[in-house]
Amino acid sequence: MAGSKIPESVLVVIHTAALEVLLLERADHPGFWQSVTGSKDRVDEALEETCRREVLEETGLNTADFQLTDWHLRNRYEIYPHWRHRYPEGVTHNTEHVFGLLLPHRIEATLAPREHLAQIWLPWEQAADRCFSWSNVEAIRELPRRARPEGLA
């Protein structure tokens, strides 16, 4: 039976101005580290709303208290065959929208135990090396450029 999951998601790189990145260890795949990710709940759900909901669910952080930025990066990738049952029949690809969430300093997350086992703050280079997802790796490698204030080279 086909699922109803919407093939449009967000990836939220949570970071500090010092370019430290929060990573979460997946409960369903111990040893797999990632940033906050999640799919739209409704077709008409705004991407920022998806970010707010997923960050709150996965970390307990309220994005309204921090600076959420749409990086205007889109990744389209093939959905792993073992996860396709979650989507409507015939859906094979997902579009991921990348956002950054700037925190004033490291903040301990309140993890959703069904989703994540552990958290770690790492310098961006180490965080990129720790991620299992190629799109998450690329997003974190963009962080130094994305976090730079406008007008600075």
Instruction: Please give the span between the terminal C-alpha atoms of the chain, in angstroms, as a whole number.
Output: 52
Looking up tokens 């999640």, which residue turns up?
38
Reported confidence tier of residue 120, pLDDT bands at 50, 70, 90: very high
Q: Which fold has domain 8-146?
A: Nucleoside Triphosphate Pyrophosphohydrolase (3.90.79)
Residue 22 has pLDDT above 80, yes or no: yes
Reported pTM: 0.93
Residue 131 CB contacts under 8 Å (≥ 6 apart), including other chains: 23, 33, 34, 35, 137, 140
Structure tokens at 96: 């991921």
**What residue ranges do the domains of the chain occupy?**
8-146
Residue 119 has pLDDT above 90, yes or no: yes
Distance separating alpha carbons of residues 126 and 134, to the nearest angstrom: 14
Residue 151 has pLDDT above 60, yes or no: no
Reported confidence tier of residue 153, pLDDT bands at 50, 70, 90: very low
Reported confidence tier of residue 150, pLDDT bands at 50, 70, 90: low
Residue 1 is predicted with a pLDDT of 66
R_g of the chain computed on alpha carbons: 15
DSSP characters over 75-103: EEEEPPGGGGGGS-TT--EEEEEEEEEEE
